[in-house]
Amino acid sequence: MSLSQAEVSLETAAPGEEVGGSITREAWRRLRRNPVAITGFVMIVVFVLVAVLAPLLAPYSPTQQVGQATPTSIPGPSAHHWLGLDDLGRDELSRILYGARQSLLVGVVSLTLGAVGGVALGVLAGAFGGWVDNLVMRVVDIMLSVPGILFAIAVAAALGQKLTSVMIAIAVVNVPIFARLLRGQMLAHRGSDYALAAQSLGVRRSSIVFRHVLPNSISPVIVQGTLTLATAIIDAAGLAFLGLGGQDPGVPEWGRMLAETQRYLSVAPRLAIFPGLAIVFAALGFTLLGESLREALDPKYRR
Amino acid sequence: MALLDVKDLEVVFTRRGRRDVRAVDGVSFSVDPGQTVGLVGESGCGKSVTSLAVMGLLPKRGVQRGGSVYFDGANLFDLSDDRMRDMRGRDIAMVFQDPMTSLNPVVPVGVQVTEVLERHRGMRGAAARSEAAHLLERVGIPEPERRLGDYPHQLSGGMRQRALIAMSLACQPRLLIADEPTTALDVTIQAQILELLKELVTDSGTALVMITHDLGVVAGLCDVVNVMYSGRVVESATRGELFGTPRHPYTGGLLRSVPRLDQPRGVALNPIPGSPSDTLPWAEACAFAPRCGNVESRCRESSPALADDPLRPAHELRCFNPLAPAVLDEVGS
* Tens of pLDDT, residues A176-197: 999 999 999 999 998 899 999 9
Beta bridge partners of B315: B237
B224-229 β-sheet, strand order: B92-95, B175-179, B207-212, B36-40, B224-229, B232-238, B315-317, B307-308
When CB atoms are compared, the residue of A20, A202, A211 closest to B107 is A211
Q: Is residue A303 over pLDDT 50?
A: no
* CA–CA min distance B154, chain A (Å): 7
* CA–CA min distance B88, chain A (Å): 5
Phi, psi of A281 (to 5 degrees): -60, -50
Task: Please report the pLDDT score of residue B275 as a whole number.
Answer: 80
Distances (CA, A) of A117 to A175, A178, B82: 6, 8, 31
* B109 and chain A in contact, CB less than 8 A: no
Q: Which of A12-26, A262-276, B224-238 has the lowest mean pLDDT?
A: A12-26
Q: Residues of A with CB below 8 A from B98's CB?
A: 193
Q: What is the distance, to the nearest Å, from the Cα of residue A195 to the centroid of all Cα atoms in its chain?
A: 32
The enclosing H or E element of B13 equals: strand B4-13
Torsion, Cα A51 A52 A55 A58, to 10 degrees, reads -40
Q: Is residue A302 over pLDDT 80?
A: no
Q: Residues of B with CB below 8 A from A196's CB?
A: 57, 96, 102
Q: What's the pLDDT tens digit per position in A36-81?
A: 999 999 999 999 999 999 999 988 888 888 888 887 788 888 888 8
* CA–CA min distance A29, chain B (Å): 16
- Higher-confidence residue of B13 and A24: namely B13
Band of residue A18 on the pLDDT scale cut at 50, 70, 90: very low
Decide if A262 contacts A253 (C-beta within 8 A): no
* B46 and chain A in contact, CB less than 8 A: no
* B55 and chain A in contact, CB less than 8 A: yes
* B94 and chain A in contact, CB less than 8 A: yes
* B121 and chain A in contact, CB less than 8 A: no
Give me the helix-helix angle, B125-138 and B157-168, nearest 10°. 120
Helices (H) and strands (E) in chain B, counts: 11, 12
Q: Which chain B residue lies closest to A20 (C-alpha atoms)?
A: B154
Give me the helix-helix angle, A35-57 and A92-128, nearest 10°. 130
pLDDT over 70 for what percent of chain A? 90
Number of other residues whose CB lies within 10 A of the CB of residue B69: 22
Per-residue pLDDT of chain B (333 residues; tens, 9 = 90+): 789 999 999 999 988 888 888 899 999 999 999 899 999 988 888 899 999 999 999 988 889 999 999 999 899 999 999 999 999 999 999 999 888 899 998 889 999 999 999 999 998 889 999 999 999 998 889 999 999 998 888 898 889 999 999 999 899 999 999 999 888 888 888 888 888 888 888 888 899 999 998 888 888 889 999 999 999 999 999 999 999 889 999 999 888 888 877 878 777 888 888 887 777 788 888 999 988 888 888 898 888 999 898 888 889 999 999 988 755 444 444
Q: What is the distance, to the nearest Å, from the Cα of residue B145 to the centroid of all Cα atoms in its chain?
A: 32
Beta bridge partners of B300: none
Question: For residue A85, what is the DSSP state?
Answer: B
Mean pLDDT across chain A: 85
**Measured between alpha carbons, how far is B102 from B117 in angstroms, rounded to an integer?**
18
Parallel, antiparallel, or unpaired: how do β-strands B36-40 and B207-212 relate? parallel
**Measured between alpha carbons, how far is B195 from B157 in angstroms, rounded to an integer?**
16
When CB atoms are compared, the residue of A22, A204, A207 closest to B151 is A22
Q: Is residue A10 over pLDDT 60?
A: no
Q: Is residue A1 over pLDDT 70?
A: no
Partner A, chain B 182-201, Cβ-Cβ below 8 Å: none
Decide if A183 contacts A138 (C-beta within 8 A): no
**Measured between alpha carbons, how far is B161 from B145 in angstroms, rounded to an integer?**
18
Q: Is residue A93 over pLDDT 80?
A: yes
Interface test with B, best of A23, A28, A194 (most B CBs within 10 A): A194
When CB atoms are compared, the residue of B57, B120, B168 closest to A199 is B57
**Measured between alpha carbons, how far is A212 from A207 in angstroms, rounded to an integer?**
7
Task: Please report the pLDDT score of residue B93 as a whole number.
Answer: 94
Please list, in sequence order, all residues whose beta carbon lies within 8 angstroms of the beta carbon of residue B265, skipping any fewer than 6 positions away.
Answer: none
Interface test with A, best of B111, B115, B171 (most A CBs within 10 A): B115
Q: In b/e form, how buried is each residue of A84-111, taking b as 16+ CB within 10 angstroms?
A: bbbbebbbbbbbbbbbbbbbbebbbbbb
Distances (CA, A) of A7 to A3, A40, A41, A84, A239: 6, 20, 19, 42, 44
Task: Please report the pLDDT score of residue A17 as a whole number.
Answer: 36
**Measured between alpha carbons, how far is A160 from A220 in angstroms, rounded to an integer?**
35
Task: Please report the pLDDT score of residue B29 as a whole number.
Answer: 94
* A201 and chain B in contact, CB less than 8 A: yes
**Measured between alpha carbons, how far is B20 from B94 in angstroms, rounded to an integer?**
27
Question: Average pLDDT of A227-238?
Answer: 91
Beta bridge partners of B208: B36, B176
Q: Which of A6-10, A138-142, A287-291, B120-124 has the lowest mean pLDDT?
A: A6-10
* B104 and chain A in contact, CB less than 8 A: yes
With an 8 Å Cβ cutoff, are B102 and A193 in contact? yes
* B76 and chain A in contact, CB less than 8 A: no
**Measured between alpha carbons, how far is B266 from B263 in angstroms, rounded to an integer?**
9
Beta bridge partners of A91: A85
Q: What is the distance, to the nearest Å, from the Cα of residue A148 to the centroid of all Cα atoms in its chain?
A: 16
With an 8 Å Cβ cutoff, are B104 and A212 in contact? yes
With an 8 Å Cβ cutoff, are A200 and B88 in contact? yes
Q: What's the pLDDT tens digit per position in A136-172?
A: 999 999 988 988 888 878 887 888 888 888 899 899 9
Question: Average pLDDT of A195-224?
Answer: 91
Task: Please report the pLDDT score of residue A110 as a whole number.
Answer: 93
Q: Tell me, what amino acid is at A61?
A: S
- Higher-confidence residue of A175 and A250: namely A175
Question: For residue A149, what is the DSSP state?
Answer: H
* A22 and chain B in contact, CB less than 8 A: yes
- Give pTM, 2 decimals: 0.81
B21-31 β-sheet, strand order: B21-31, B4-13, B63-71, B74-75
Of the candidates B49, B42, B62, which has an alpha carbon nearest to the alpha carbon of residue B23? B49
With an 8 Å Cβ cutoff, are A201 and B88 in contact? yes
Q: Residues of B with CB below 8 A from A202's CB?
A: 85-90, 116, 119-120
Please list, in sequence order, all residues whose beta carbon lies within 8 angstroms of the beta carbon of residue B106, skipping any fewer than 6 positions away.
Answer: A22, A23, A24, A215, A216, B151
Q: Which chain A residue lies closest to B172 (C-alpha atoms)?
A: A201
Three-class SS of B212-250: ECCHHHHHHHCCEEEEEECCEEEEEEEHHHHHHCCCCHH
Partner B, chain A 250-269, Cβ-Cβ below 8 Å: none
Decide if B209 contacts B39 (C-beta within 8 A): yes
Interface test with B, best of A22, A24, A201, A207 (most B CBs within 10 A): A201
Distances (CA, A) of A81 to A63, A86, A164, A265, B33: 14, 10, 32, 19, 89
Decide if B325 contacts B247 (C-beta within 8 A): yes
Question: For residue B102, what is the DSSP state?
Answer: S
Q: Is residue A239 over pLDDT 70?
A: yes
Question: For residue A209, what is the DSSP state?
Answer: I
Of the candidates B3, B29, B2, which has an alpha carbon nearest to the alpha carbon of residue B173? B3
Half-sphere exposure of A268 (CA within 13 A, CB side): 26
* CA–CA min distance A143, chain B (Å): 30
